[in-house]
Amino acid sequence: MSLFKEWEEIAENAADSQEFWKNYLALEQTVYDAILIEKETSLKGSIKDLAEKYKLKPVMFAGFLDGINTSLKEEINLDELEDENTSIDAEIDYDKLYYNMHEAKADWLYNLPAWDDIFTKEKRKEIKKAYNATKTVVKGEKIGRNDPCPCGSGKKYKKCCLNK
């Protein structure tokens, strides 16, 4: 079984285990914190070596890669993570990472103090604003009952399409 499939199985079996996810998210936070403090832009090496560097089991590092994958300049094919000796070479896109942390509603990650050394407050606000813009619902102009029907019949809306 591939390392990533093993991670998926663990995650699926622990879906209802709050204790597991609490522990995993704490581990994940320490990895992100280390990456940000060191201003690392790449994840390069074998899964085993990277997992040891961040004090994780290789299967947990596969889970971390699952989480950061959409924040990489080029996504990794996670199904190709055969075992702990599989090598990866991935570049982290910090703009995407910060945005995706908002998308995941991971305030414990996007509020890490280490972000202060990566982005200015203005840049962080700009990315947050871009995220918020994708969540803003814009309603179209409302058609009044006595307005001309948008179907082009020439009738009032209340006499045409409102009653259909």
pLDDT digits (tens, 9 = 90+) for 96-140: 999 999 999 999 999 999 999 999 999 999 999 999 988 877 777
For residues 29 and 110, the answer to whether their CB atoms sit within 8 Å is no
Q: What is the pTM of this model?
A: 0.80
Interatomic CA distance for residues 28 and 63, integer angstroms: 9
Domain ranges within the chain, ordered by starting residue: 3-119
| Average pLDDT of the residues in 52-57 | 96
Could you write out the three-class secondary structure of the chain?
CCHHHHHHHHHHHCCCCHHHHHHHHHHHHHHHHHHHHHCCCEEEEEHHHHHHHCCCCHHHHHHHHHHHHHHECCCCCHHHCCCCCCEEEEEECHHHHHHHHHHCCCHHHHCCHHHHHCCCHHHHHHHHHHHHHHHCCCCCCCCCCCCECCCCCCCEHHHCHHHC
Interatomic CA distance for residues 29 and 39, integer angstroms: 15
Average pLDDT of the chain? 92
| Average pLDDT of the residues in 52-66 | 95
Q: What is the pLDDT of residue 101?
A: 95
